Amino acid sequence: MSDAIRFEDISKQLGEREVLRNANFVTKQGDVFGYLGPNGAGKTTTIRILLGLLQPTSGKATILGEDVSRDEARRKIGFVLESDGLYDNKTAEENLWYYAQIYGMTEPAERIDRILSRVELRDRAKDKVGTYSKGMRQRLALARAMTHNPELLVLDEPTAGVDPSGQIEVREVILNMAHKEGRTIFLSSHNLDEVQRICNRIALIDRGEIKLCGEVEQLRREMSGNVVEIETTQLMAEPLFAELKSLSHLGLRERKDKTLTFVLQEGTRIPDIVSLLVRRGVEIEGVSKKEASLEEIYSAILKEVEPS
């Protein structure tokens, strides 16, 4: 698959501050790419460069093969920015109509109607946006992003400030766009759970530097280490637990209800542990290799870069 976004050695200096430092990442067409990082890490600056709002001090950024500074690149992108940018004094329909005209759509009425239905705002199409809830506004902003049927969607914190039910609604719309419509999505978010559910690839940025980039599943496997969880049918007796724990080559770390957690040691394999447990009369319900959650990866990476 060809590249959707290519960010090559991008740096951005704003005044005295280097907001981005040699940032590199690539997203492929069809990717749902999560862009994570704490406040002030450089996420919004990255998005502004992608949308041609800021010029990189050095490096090259392309979108679907076009340089981001070209108007042609922006025709291929739909976006939702941190601030939804909707006009409060206009109706939902008028807001979409305005953007449809900007993108040169000649007969947008039918498309606008269909998109409003898709985000479940058709009933409120004639209402002023100033009367909308935050969740409705975000759905409308997503609808606006899709008006001209772009190949790529750039979403900056689309669920920020939205109540839980609103977040679910917004997330559903994004999932539909990603999985049913197959659009490439660049999603900047603080919400790790959301990113884990929606995205197949992520990049983690901190203090202007990309710290990690790759497929979510692969990163989870790589970052999970050698942690194995064995679930038993019965709660393990304390003496047996103490005995097994004393065998250092086993790497038994903890017991939580009926689950034993092992950290695999050099030369020890999972079947070795299982057969030892069976020999000691332990009935095994299941064995699983524990994968690190996105939250654990995020914390681990940010901890690594914390100044001493």
The site for another protein (CB under 8 A) is made up of 14, 48, 51-55, 71-72, 74-75, 77, 79, 81-90, 98-99, 101-104
Instruction: Output 155 or 212, the one with its CB closest to another protein.
Output: 155
Residue pair 54/61 in contact (Cβ under 8 Å)? The answer is no
Torsion angle of the four alpha carbons 280, 273, 294, 235, in this order, in degrees rounded to the nearest 10: 0
Q: Which two tokens stand for residue 75?
A: 């025709």
Q: With respect to another protein, which residue has the nearer C-beta, 102 or 305?
A: 102
Residue nearer to another protein on the CB measure, 8 or 82:
82
Smallest separation (angstroms) from another protein to the CB of 122: 22
Residue 202 φ then ψ, to 5°: -140, 160
Going across the sheet that includes 252-256, the strands are 252-256, 259-263, 227-232, 284-289
- DSSP state at residue 290: P
CA-based end-to-end distance of the chain: 42
- Supply the minimum distance, in Å, between the C-beta of residue 4 and another protein: 17
Q: Which residues contact 184 (CB under 8 A, 6 or more apart)?
A: 4, 5, 27, 28, 29, 30, 31, 32, 33, 151, 152, 153
DSSP string, 109-178: HHHHHHHHHHTT-GGGTTSBGGGS-HHHHHHHHHHHHHTT--SEEEEESTTTT--HHHHHHHHHHHHIII
Residue 95 vs 268, nearer CB to another protein: 95
Q: What minimum distance in Å lies between the beta carbon of 222 and another protein?
A: 35
Residue 35 or 79: the one with the smaller Cβ distance to another protein is 79
Nearer to another protein by Cβ, of 79 and 262: the residue is 79
Nearest to 144 by CA among 172, 167, 177: 177
Query: Closest Cα to residue 284, out of 212, 226, 228, 242?
Result: 228
Q: In this complex, which beta carbon is closest to another protein, that of residue 38 or of residue 52?
A: 52
Q: How far is the CB of 187 from another protein (least distance, A)?
A: 16
> Shortest gap between Cβ of 268 and another protein (angstroms)?
55
Q: Output the smallest distance, CB 308 to another protein, in A.
A: 32
Smallest distance, another protein to C-beta of residue 120, A: 22
